A and B are shown apart, each in its own frame.
Chain A
Amino acid sequence: MDQKIVFIKDTGIENDRTKDYYALFLNLLRENSLEDQVQINRVADIGIYNQGLVVKIFEQDVIYANVKEEQIKEIVLKTIKEGKVIKELLFQSPPKQLRIVLRNCGEIDPENIDEYIAKDGYQALNKAVQENKPEKIIEELKKSGLRGRGGAGFPTWLKWKLTRETPEAQKYVICNADEGDPGAYMDRGVLEGDPHSVIEGLILAGFAIGANKGYFYVRAEYPLAVQRVELALAQAYDHGLLGKNILGSNFNFEIDIRLGAGAFVCGEETALIASIEGRRGTPRPRPPYPSVKGLWDKPTAINNVETLANIAPIILKGGDWYAAIGTEKSKGTKVFALTGKVKNSGLVEVPMGITLREIVYDIGGGMISSKGIKAVQTGGPSGGVIPQEYLDTPVDYENLQKLGSIMGSGGMIVMDEDDCMVDIAKFYLGFCVDESCGKCVPCRIGGYQMLALLDKITEGQGKLEDIEKLKRIALAMQKASLCALGQTAANPVVSTLKYFFAEYQDHIVDKKCRSHKCKHLLNYSIIQDKCKRCRVCLINCPVNAISGDKEQGFLVDPKICIRCGKCYEVCKFNAIAKE
């Protein structure tokens, strides 16, 4: 039974929802007595968007896009029946994603070290210890152009070189798996899906800088990641990939795991080090950098999960291979946690230099609703918003910074017309205020004051002078805070002010929130023409703000109303106005 398999994707075709392409196909197959030789399937997703009706024929591996109704017959007769390809309809586009960090995620069993080894796992480590030239690893990384994926984008080779060159017998390496930014879960994905790739990277880091002890700092809120890393470490010890005389060489290396108690600031390297040492997780001024004075005052190289997952492929395939991917100053790929109002939320890995538009539309499948895209937020609480006009900007460290955002660790939140930019700024700032360790004044007091101003604005009490105050405090925080938490905390406010000043003005001058997010600026009322007098709103109002009767109709009392939106939700006749 050698069946041909045909997939059709007819979702997302805006103009003719009434057409049943599946039935059309089936009828044509029947007419040509092909129904027994062909399996036809309608699929929800084929990874191709905004290309109309897409048809994929398996076995021949051809993909047709933008297929018109009248062309279906041709496809059935030519391609399906005779096996001929119709050139004009062919869809050819190189895949947008490129998986280096996520190479094994979703492929192998993360709890089985053998499956990792089967995918060339620990071959890079083997190569390194056999050659026994640690400097060569650093050299290879320099060629690769790899920069830290934890946020700041510091060249990894340089960090390793500096740590290596600091004269001291005892050195450490640390894997930073604290991942605390709201909206980001790339590192969790890697640790849960392919823990050995990170472990191998950490061992290689130890080998390159001359350390024999490494730590995994994982946040305790990631219990599954912790469990998988623990299991993976035990397997690596068992196989002699950790411990003494690794792979028959004279290199010894051990890794311990430390759990973070879930403070965002503990992701900051000096606070993280303090936390491992058993002290309170607060940052200290740098320099000295950890590469000189780190864990227990010894030279320490601290790297992000994703950075480390890149190391083994670079060592195996060479720095030049890696450097061929990406843009001039940002090499390789980046994993993003694509979330928000996008259809396909999930983890994506793309070469640097791809545009935001490609990520949102070609990979993410576009917006969930018909509401237009307003902005993309990158970099979490340290980042900013990139308005829709700049969607065609190639994504790399420099470009995002120029736009007033940052690459950050890789959260990417897509926002539409329903998202209020003042509210977004308030959310991120509120997060930093909660998470500030309180050690330094600019961050502790500045953040609090800015938040108070934003509260005032979203409650309709704001004045135009408040904008100037916001900007002044933001500058003070950027210049004078102790660590990057405080230095970057104002970024979301600064960037929304830059691109969406009109929305601040709306809130302050017109006392309106155009996205209907800020509830103090909302008014609910009943549209009498549409109201069917069903009383559902009255029954559901938790504070009895709605009164009236079936003869006279109903009214909302704005003095009692708490703007919970319940009436809006329950009304079946769209008779509640929200403005």
Chain B
Amino acid sequence: MIKLTKNDLDKIKAAHQDDGRDWIKVGMSTCGIAAGADKVYALFVEEIKKRKLDIQIKKCGCQGMCYSEPSVEVRVKGLPDVIYGKVDKEGVIKILDKHICGNTLVKDSIYELRTKR
């Protein structure tokens, strides 16, 4: 057991700041999982490994957009952060083919745009 001190908190904070890598984030709360987010997540993991892509895959909680679950947020440098909604297996492949590998947003499935953070 490591006892944290104030400095350790700051160190962890510094170590976890945005490292500039691209990422995919799947909303994995009850609302998302009920709509199939766990399968979407698993498929992303599998495909990223298969294609040897340099992209992080992350989980997060409910983004509040329960009507469009499973939702997947994607950050790729040079493109705005977008949240895709109602993502299914086909959607996963499209996101990987187009957005991640092709630098083009996937049409008609974007549900929200995040302004630059």
Residues of A within 8 A of B (CB): 1-3, 5, 7, 39, 41-47, 56, 58, 61, 102, 104-111, 114-115, 117-118, 120, 122-123, 126, 130, 185, 188-189, 192-194, 222, 224-225, 237-241, 243, 245, 247-248, 343-349
Q: How far is the CA of A118 from the CA of B17 in the complex (A)?
A: 7
**CB <8 Å contact, A111 and B59:** yes
4 tightest A-B CB contacts, nearest first: A193-B61, A106-B63, A118-B16, A240-B3
**CB <8 Å contact, B109 and A44:** yes
Interface residues of B in 56-111 (CB under 8 A from A): 58-68, 73, 78-80, 85, 103-105, 107-111
**CB <8 Å contact, A224 and B33:** yes
- Contacting B13 at CB < 8 Å: which of A2, A117, A193, A222? A117
Listed residue (B3, B27, B62, B107) with the most chain A CB atoms within 10 angstroms of its CB = B62
* Chain A residues near B4 (CB-CB < 8 A): 122, 239-241, 247
**CB <8 Å contact, B85 and A5:** no
* Chain A residues near B50 (CB-CB < 8 A): none
Interface residues of B in 8-37 (CB under 8 A from A): 9, 12-13, 15-17, 27, 29-31, 33
Instruction: Name which residue of chain B comes closest to A56, CB basis.
Output: B113
Q: How far is the CA of A349 from the CA of B63 in the complex (A)?
A: 11
**CB <8 Å contact, A130 and B59:** no
- A sample of 7 cross-chain residue pairs with beta-carbon separation below 8 angstroms, ordered by A number, consists of A44-B85, A44-B109, A109-B58, A117-B12, A188-B29, A189-B29, A224-B33
Chain B proximity of A406: nearest CB distance (Å): 23
Known: A46-B113, A189-B29. A248 touches B65 (CB 8 A): no
- Using C-beta atoms within 8 Å of the partner chain, give the interface range for chain B: 35 or more
Known: A5-B80, A45-B111, A46-B112. A192 touches B2 (CB 8 A): no
**CB <8 Å contact, B104 and A346:** no
Known: A58-B80, A224-B29, A247-B5. A346 touches B64 (CB 8 A): yes
Chain B proximity of A374: nearest CB distance (Å): 20
**CB <8 Å contact, B9 and A5:** no
Known: A110-B61, A224-B33, A343-B67. A43 touches B16 (CB 8 A): no
Q: How far is the CA of A130 from the CA of B7 in the complex (A)?
A: 13
Q: How far is the CA of A109 from the CA of B61 in the complex (A)?
A: 7
Q: How far is the CA of A243 from the CA of B65 in the complex (A)?
A: 37
- Contacting A346 at CB < 8 Å: which of B16, B30, B66? B66
- Contacting A114 at CB < 8 Å: which of B16, B58, B108? B16
**CB <8 Å contact, B9 and A122:** yes
**CB <8 Å contact, A41 and B107:** yes
Instruction: Name which residue of chain B comes closest to A194, CB basis.
Output: B61
Q: How far is the CA of A352 from the CA of B56 in the complex (A)?
A: 37
**CB <8 Å contact, A240 and B1:** yes
**CB <8 Å contact, B63 and A105:** yes
Residues of B within 8 A of A (CB): 1-6, 9, 12-13, 15-17, 27, 29-31, 33, 58-68, 73, 78-80, 85, 103-105, 107-113, 115-116
**CB <8 Å contact, B12 and A118:** yes
**CB <8 Å contact, B59 and A110:** yes
- Contacting A188 at CB < 8 Å: which of B27, B30, B80, B110? B30
Q: How far is the CA of A189 from the CA of B2 in the complex (A)?
A: 30
Q: How far is the CA of A58 from the CA of B12 in the complex (A)?
A: 33
Chain A proximity of B109: nearest CB distance (Å): 7
Chain A proximity of B80: nearest CB distance (Å): 5
Q: How far is the CA of A224 from the CA of B13 in the complex (A)?
A: 26
Known: A42-B107, A126-B6, A222-B30. A347 touches B64 (CB 8 A): yes
* Chain B residues near A105 (CB-CB < 8 A): 60-64
Chain A proximity of B3: nearest CB distance (Å): 4
* Chain B residues near A118 (CB-CB < 8 A): 12-13, 15-17
Known: A248-B5, A346-B67. A189 touches B113 (CB 8 A): no
**CB <8 Å contact, A109 and B60:** yes
**CB <8 Å contact, B65 and A123:** no
* Chain A residues near B103 (CB-CB < 8 A): 1, 3
Q: How far is the CA of A2 from the CA of B103 in the complex (A)?
A: 11
* Chain A residues near B65 (CB-CB < 8 A): 344, 346
**CB <8 Å contact, B33 and A245:** no
Chain B proximity of A573: nearest CB distance (Å): 32
Known: A43-B111, A126-B6. A192 touches B61 (CB 8 A): yes
**CB <8 Å contact, B30 and A224:** yes
Listed residue (A188, A192, A343) with the most chain B CB atoms within 10 angstroms of its CB = A192
* Chain B residues near A224 (CB-CB < 8 A): 29-30, 33
Known: A47-B112, A193-B29, A247-B3. 15 other contacts (CB 8 A): A44-B108, A44-B109, A46-B113, A106-B27, A106-B60, A106-B62, A109-B60, A123-B9, A193-B60, A193-B61, A225-B30, A240-B3, A245-B3, A346-B64, A347-B64
**CB <8 Å contact, B110 and A41:** yes
* Chain A residues near B116 (CB-CB < 8 A): 61
